[in-house]
Amino acid sequence: MREGMIPTVLGTVVTASSAAFLGSRYKIAATGILGFGIAHIVLGAIDLFEHR
């Protein structure tokens, strides 16, 4: 498996699940978790492009 694939997939799952909570009463927590998900996607994508 390519290096960076796991953080990218994990970030996608975390981002999608936190986006579902944006409409709930936990909006601040969902926004923070959304940021962590996006960070995982960005860092995983950097690893994917760096280790071709």
| Alpha carbons 2 and 27: distance in angstroms, whole number | 34
Q: What is the pLDDT of residues 10-28, one digit of tens each?
A: 999 999 999 999 999 999 9
Q: How far apart are CA 6 and CA 51, in angstroms?
A: 14
What pTM does this model have? 0.87
Q: How far apart are alpha carbons 29 and 6 in whole angstroms?
A: 23
Q: What is the mean pLDDT of the chain?
A: 93
Token pair listed for 14: 């975390």
pLDDT at 1: 75
Please, where are the H alpha helices in the chain? 5-20, 27-50
Question: Is 80 exceeded by the pLDDT of residue 35?
Answer: yes
Q: Read off the pLDDT band of 52 (50, 70, 90).
A: confident
Residue 36 has which token pair? Answer: 């962590």
- Identify which has the larger pLDDT, 1 or 29: 29
